[in-house]
Chain A
């Protein structure tokens, strides 16, 4: 399967625990995005990388959230001291930004559904 893959698919955690999610993008894609989606809403942007550089972070991303893409391939999203309000679907997407042209479409992984109890 050469699509975007995310792990785990589901995570249930107790409030106050730390969780980490992984995303493996499509191999030749230089852009990697993280989004959060709650029921009945569209995906909300969290952060994105071009290769290993984190280019933008949303104001939604509190200090408890951190993301990395150390070698420009896979990425991790960590949430520290989880709160019930963190319960959501966390979606990863990747795209190819060719030099000096418009961005191509983003391809999404199946998401990680986080439930904080």
Chain B
């Protein structure tokens, strides 16, 4: 089993749709959680950190369930510019960042 798993995708949604991505991780010692966005042939860039209480940044909402070792990302009112691959990332204290395989999103006009 991979350390971080994500919905396989791709997700093809119309503009304005709400889309949710799921991620699970196997290392219960993981301490920090992130969602990164990666555009085609570009480097990953931080979208948002994920906090235990859940957090929101505009149209984006991240949730963390430590008991289930589950992370989610919700995108509301999706835009064409949201088309990208979304990477779930976990990090244990003093350890390296472990990336999931990514879920590709295409927002269609």
Contact = CB atoms under 8 A, between A and B. Distances in A.
A25 interface: no
A95 B95 CA distance: 11
Contact of A56 (B46, B87, B96, B100): B96
B43 A111 contact: yes
B94 A42 contact: no
B94 A93 contact: no
A48 B44 CA distance: 17
Interface string B89-109: 101011111111110000000
Contacts of A105: 32, 34, 46, 49
Give chain A's interface residue range (CB within 8 Å of chain B): 20 to 34
Q: Which of B4, B49, B97 has the most CB of A within 10 A?
A: B97
Contacts of A93: 97
Contacts of B100: 42
B59 interface: no
Interface in B12-68: 31-32, 34, 42-46, 49
A43 interface: yes
Contacts of B49: 105
Contact of B97 (A33, A102, A111): A33
Given A41-B101, A48-B96, A97-B94, A108 B31 contact: no
Contacts of A33: 96-97
A108 to B, nearest CB: 4
B106 to A, nearest CB: 14
Interface of A: 33, 35, 41-45, 48, 56, 91, 93, 95, 97, 102-103, 105-111
29 contacts: A33-B96, A33-B97, A35-B99, A41-B101, A42-B99, A42-B101, A42-B102, A43-B87, A45-B97, A45-B98, A45-B99, A48-B96, A56-B95, A56-B96, A91-B43, A91-B44, A102-B31, A102-B93, A103-B94, A105-B34, A105-B46, A105-B49, A106-B89, A106-B97, A107-B46, A108-B43, A108-B45, A110-B42, A110-B43
